Structure 1
């Protein structure tokens, strides 16, 4: 049997002063276009997870997050097109103005209430936000 390999997805939870979570409308990506997702990306070779999240924050949203200001709040082993491990980090401190750095991939950023999320949120992200709110640190999905 071959050794299992998995793509590592990195997700960033940025909250405004009211506790709402930043989401962006995906477009032209070929996956979940028209749905809302967190600032996210894939871990690159030779990169730590916190360094990758900080990189994605700057690349996608234009904010600076120091890796040591990130806190892992959820880990999800899920299946979309393949098996993936998704790490959800919350930034305790960040600086800069939220801007749409990738307008070719994102129609824009807005804040949503995680207790009453939009039905347009990517399903596994909505699942993770519910579990984070209830204090669950691990979940699985899509393996049926």
Structure 2
């Protein structure tokens, strides 16, 4: 069963219960869902959900990939697929697809460490106008030393970097807090 509006609504509620300071900023996502907008469809350009994986290894470093289409270093993630049944699973699927990491990775918590809403530039080759991603970012710990196998059509490189290099301040602070054992 594909990801439902109820699942997204419940995830938003769990997240904003943990981070009430973000409730107002994310209210428009509830409004889209209340209007019957399918935010799981990548053809919904007012905003559609994506799932991301912030992976931290035993050395406290975060995994970054070089995203081909955006030509930027990002954490793994991407669009939802019809076979995805929940957002956490979608984040794990994207991690596996882009990096080959499937073993010894576990979520730090059941809800996203961060939900980021950001603009995506128009992509003429995909006939996509500028639009917004509603990025549900989950935090994972990697135990052991599993190798990385890149999905070369979307990813051109990878690097393990200090979590201090995470550019989003909120995400960086929450990952740091998690590594210290505090509530992110």
In 2, distance between residues paired with 1:70 and 1:44? 23
Matched-pair contact (CA < 8 Å) for 1:54–1:65: no
| Larger Rg, first or second structure (1 or 2) | 2
Change (3 A) 1:132 1:76: same
Identify unmatched segments of 5+ residues in structure 2. Answer: 1-31, 40-46, 121-129, 176-184
- 1:53 Cα offset (Å): 1.1
Higher relative contact order (CA 8 A, sep 6+): 1
Asked if 1:133 is matched to 2:172, the reply is: yes
- 1:38 Cα offset (Å): 0.8
In 2, distance between residues paired with 1:54 and 1:66? 12
TM-score by length of 1: 0.68
Q: Secondary structure at the match of 1:24?
A: strand
In 1, distance between residues paired with 2:54 and 2:104? 14
Change (3 A) 1:40 1:24: same
Matched-pair contact (CA < 8 Å) for 2:99–2:149: yes
- 1:77 Cα offset (Å): 2.3
- Between stretches 7-16 and 69-78, larger displacement belongs to 69-78
Matched-pair contact (CA < 8 Å) for 1:9–1:85: yes
**RMSD over equivalenced CA pairs, Å:** 2.8
Which has the larger share of strand? 1
Q: Secondary structure at the match of 2:78?
A: strand
- Between stretches 97-106 and 84-93, larger displacement belongs to 97-106
Identify unmatched segments of 5+ residues in structure 1. Answer: 118-124, 137-144
1:53-94 CA-to-partner distances (Å, cap 9, x unmatched) read 111121111112689735320112223321221111011356
